[in-house]
């Protein structure tokens, strides 16, 4: 409903939400919150701002900046083609290119996202029909001579190609190109006998689009990763909100807003309630040469009062950085257009290492846009070994939008107003990141980061090593049960108990153990009595058993209830392998913060108290796992980290 008041203001109402526009002011008030517009509204009847007309004119940005915030269906404004798409309709962007090659020609039609098509001939026309609801297409000007006389739209989902008099035959083929589908139509002319012409050179291959000399904006493609999905619900709120549903809803809104404001290509790692492996999420961003990866999550804390958004950047220890440097190399590969080029190679799991500075800068930009708009955690920006970010070969951050375990914040996160505010902040951050990166690229040349392939030879060697290590771990934990808690004699990590010297009964030692701090954001160290264990391995077992034991209030443990120690082994170089029961994972509450505190409770308990232990890897029921609850990388031993201890 639209109405004007006595002061000339116009109010647009929809399902209890209002937009108020005032003459001479380039602002809109949306349920009490102001957003800017490029120009003030105009009364069409008078040709100026004011009251009394029946038709008001507003800038097109009114749709994305104001109307989209109150409307309950997706609004997709595409200014170039003058389209406004309401709802989840399939409207691919279609680009058309025609290239004449002597007596032949090639028509290339790209549709993004992918859309099936059929081609048929009727007399002197080719009809191309797409499997879509409508087409977003700007028809190019084609010279009215040769094999193609023109291209035009005849139906919402059909194109018609007008053929020239010399047209003889065509051949059509379709192939996927990243997230697009490419229809290639090769056209052949009739042969004339009047004047034989030299044998035409063969038609060149399709051009290598990556080599086309065109402007290189810093953000052309952005990948958005809605966390969790399918059987993985993620964190849960007391009101029943599931993290997987919240992240997908916000990701869809953010995709539409980015496409409208920035005009860039936006990919979702999932667009339905489906569990996508973490490697596949990074692979989608890498293979589509995304310029930014943004992973969306909702946090959880064992302290229900903990609240606020935070941003995470990937963290790597020194061993990983050394491995990344050692793995770098180059390989000479052929290009589509002929010739060769040197391509830098790197290990897939360590691709993010060379982007961490850019990722940290992106996190700071997002923090700036969140302030005064979104409630923030006291720890806004943090670093953690996050599995989904480690393989991303571009600047990448993980955004925790808030805490579902906080009842008030759960209500905020599920509301349209908060989600729209969050999306607007992220869009503004993307605009500033694009400006920042463009300025940086002008200083160092175009092209940006080369999306490098994995080093195949080294990875095969690493894979072989991991297989051997897995067999050895199986032998130690299952095949040779007499070794539980001990390693073969002669290794440095074990001090086996003497058969002739009995252990003192009831002897205790003091150990620093770790529990959830009062603010819910960190761990707090507490000194506890732990039974004495003879040798590093036995003492490590005693420490872990006390650390995972139930505690009385007000102490709060980050270890899920029911967790038991199955076995423990300390390697020759100080890597401890702690084998815990399935409850350590299955009973976990979820959330990046919770997962960090849980993992580093175990890691720090051993590395802080036992000088012989330098790092810790957690196993579940004797098996290596990717993560505990979808966040922290558990595929390699983790070193002590006191940044999470107050």
pLDDT in tens, 566-598: 999 998 889 999 999 999 999 999 999 999 999
Pairing of strands 265-268, 221-226: parallel
Question: 114 and 55 in one domain?
Answer: no
> Are 108 and 52 in a shared domain?
no
Report the mean per-residue pLDDT for the chain: 79
Residue where the block lists tokens 């993985």 = 232
Is 313 contained in some domain? yes
Q: Does this model's pTM top 0.85? A: no
Q: Express each pLDDT in 167-194 by its tens digit.
A: 878 888 888 777 788 888 888 777 554 4
CA distance 32 to 172: 55
pLDDT band with cut points at 50, 70 and 90 for residue 628: very high
For residues 310 and 422, state if they share a domain.
yes
Beta pairing, strands 292-299 & 396-403:
parallel
Whether residues 166 and 256 share a domain: the answer is: no
pLDDT in tens, 291-338: 999 999 999 999 999 999 999 999 987 665 555 555 555 444 444 444
Residue 48: pLDDT over 80: no
454 has a pLDDT exceeding 90:
no
The answer to whether residues 47 and 106 belong to one domain is no
CATH label of the domain that carries residue 15: 3.30.457
Residue 234 CB contacts under 8 Å (≥ 6 apart), including other chains: 227, 228, 242, 243, 244, 247, 297, 298, 590, 591, 629, 630
The pLDDT, as a whole number, for residue 123 is 82
Which one has a higher pLDDT value, 425 or 136? 425
What pLDDT, on a 0 to 100 scale, did the predictor assign at position 107?
85
How confident is the model at residue 318, as a pLDDT?
Answer: 67
Residues 242, 132, single domain; the answer is no
Does 268 reside within a domain?
Answer: yes
Torsion of CA 193, 198, 201, 203, to 10 degrees: -20
CATH code of the domain containing 336: 3.40.630.40
* 143 and 173 belong to one structural domain: yes
**Cβ(299)–Cβ(349) below 8 Å:** no
pLDDT of residue 465: 43
Could you read off the pLDDT of 520-557 as tens digits, one per residue? 999 999 999 999 999 999 999 999 999 999 999 999 99
Is residue 86 domain-resident? no
Question: Range of 582's domain?
Answer: 485-497+506-644
- Residues 116, 169, single domain; the answer is yes
**Residue 448 counted as domain residue:** yes
- pLDDT higher than threshold 80 for residue 36: no
Confidence band (pLDDT; 50, 70, 90) for 101? low
pLDDT, average across residues 486-499 = 34
Based on the domain organization, do 253 and 380 belong to the same domain? yes
DSSP code at position 307: -
The verdict on residue 79 lying in a domain is: no
Lowest mean pLDDT across 161-165, 249-253, 532-536, 614-618: 161-165
For the chain, helix, strand, coil in percent to 5 are 30, 30, 40
Residue 342, domain member (yes or no) = yes
Alpha-carbon span 269 to 285, nearest angstrom: 8
Are 322 and 430 contained in the same domain?
A: yes
DSSP state of 137: E
Percent of the chain with pLDDT over 90: 45
Indicate the number of domains in the chain: 4
Which of 79-88, 347-356, 447-456 has the least mean pLDDT?
447-456
Q: Quick check: 490 pLDDT over 50?
A: no
The confidence score (pLDDT) of residue 632 equals 93
**Residue 184 counted as domain residue:** yes
Whether residue 8 is found in the same domain as residue 67: yes
Residue 376: closest CA among 284, 299, 442 = 299
- Residue scoring higher pLDDT (127 or 320): 127
pLDDT at 39: 76
Task: Give the whole-number percent of the chain exceeding pLDDT 70.
Answer: 76
Give the residue, 312 or 78, on which the prediction is more confident: 312
Count of CB atoms within 10 A of residue 54's CB? 8
Here the CATH number for the domain that contains residue 130 is: 2.60.40.3500
Residue 84, in any domain of the structure: no
Per-residue buried b or exposed e for 175-199, using 16+ beta carbons within 10 Å of the residue's own CB: eeebbbbbbebbbbbeeeeeeeeee
């Amino acid at each position: 409903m639209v109405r004007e008041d006595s002061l000339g203001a116009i109010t647009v109402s929809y399902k209890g939400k209002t937009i108020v526009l005032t003459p001479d002011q380039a602002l809109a008030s949306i349920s009490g919150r102001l957003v800017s517009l490029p120009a003030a509204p105009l009364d069409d009847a008078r040709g100026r701002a004011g009251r009394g007309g029946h038709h008001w004119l507003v800038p097109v940005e009114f749709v994305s900046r104001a109307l989209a915030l109150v409307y309950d269906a997706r609004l997709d404004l595409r200014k170039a083609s003058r389209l406004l798409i309401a709802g989840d309709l399939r409207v691919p962007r279609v680009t058309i290119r025609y290239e004449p090659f002597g007596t032949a020609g090639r028509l290339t039609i790209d549709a993004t996202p992918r859309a099936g098509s059929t081609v048929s001939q009727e007399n002197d026309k080719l009809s191309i029909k797409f499997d879509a609801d409508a087409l977003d297409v700007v028809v190019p000007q084609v010279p009215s001579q040769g094999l193609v006389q023109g291209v035009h739209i005849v139906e919402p989902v059909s194109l018609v190609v007008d053929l020239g008099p010399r047209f003889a035959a065509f051949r059509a083929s379709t192939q996927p190109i990243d997230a697009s589908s490419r229809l290639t139509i090769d056209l052949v002319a009739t042969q004339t006998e009047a004047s034989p012409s030299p044998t035409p050179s063969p038609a060149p291959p399709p051009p290598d689009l990556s080599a086309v000399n065109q402007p290189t904006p810093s953000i052309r493609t952005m990948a958005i990763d809605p966390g969790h999905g399918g059987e993985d619900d993620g964190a849960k709120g007391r009101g029943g909100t599931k993290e997987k549903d919240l992240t997908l809803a916000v990701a869809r809104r953010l995709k539409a807003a980015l496409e409208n404001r920035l005009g860039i290509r936006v990919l979702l790692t999932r667009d339905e309630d489906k569990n996508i492996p973490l490697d596949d999420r990074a692979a989608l961003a890498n293979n589509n040469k995304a310029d930014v990866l943004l992973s969306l999550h909702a946090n959880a804390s064992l302290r229900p009062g903990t609240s606020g958004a935070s941003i995470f950047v990937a963290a790597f220890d020194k061993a990983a950085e050394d491995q990344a440097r050692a793995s770098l190399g180059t390989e000479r590969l052929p290009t589509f257009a002929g010739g060769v080029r040197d391509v830098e190679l790197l290990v897939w799991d360590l691709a993010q290492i060379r982007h961490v500075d850019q990722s940290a800068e992106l996190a700071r930009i997002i923090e700036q846009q969140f302030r005064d708009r979104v409630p923030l955690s006291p720890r806004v920006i943090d670093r953690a070994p996050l599995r989904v970010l480690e393989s991303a070969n571009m600047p990448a951050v993980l955004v925790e939008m808030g805490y579902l375990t906080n009842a008030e914040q759960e209500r905020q996160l599920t509301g349209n107003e908060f989600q729209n505010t969050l999306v607007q902040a992220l869009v503004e951050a993307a605009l500033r990141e694009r400006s920042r990166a463009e300025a940086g690229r002008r200083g160092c040349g175009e092209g940006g980061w080369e999306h490098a392939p994995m080093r195949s030879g080294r990875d095969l060697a690493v894979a072989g090593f991991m297989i051997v290590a897995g067999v050895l771990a199986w032998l130690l934990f299952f095949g040779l049960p007499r070794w539980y808690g001990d390693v073969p004699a002669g290794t440095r990590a074990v001090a086996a108990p003497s058969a002739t010297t009995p252990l003192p009964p009831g002897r205790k030692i003091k150990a620093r153990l770790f529990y959830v701090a009062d603010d819910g954001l960190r761990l707090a160290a507490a000194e506890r009595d732990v039974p004495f264990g003879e040798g590093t391995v036995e003492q490590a077992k005693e420490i872990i058993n006390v650390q995972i034991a139930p505690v009385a209030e007000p102490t709060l443990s980050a270890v899920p209830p029911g967790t038991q120690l199955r076995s423990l082994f300390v390697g020759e170089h100080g890597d401890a392998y702690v084998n815990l029961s399935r409850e350590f994972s299955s009973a976990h509450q979820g959330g990046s913060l919770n997962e960090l505190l849980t993992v580093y409770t175990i890691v720090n308990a051993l590395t802080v108290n036992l000088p012989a232990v330098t790092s810790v890897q957690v196993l579940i029921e004797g098996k290596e796992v990717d993560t505990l609850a979808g966040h922290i990388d558990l595929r390699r031993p983790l070193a002590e980290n006191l940044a999470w201890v107050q």
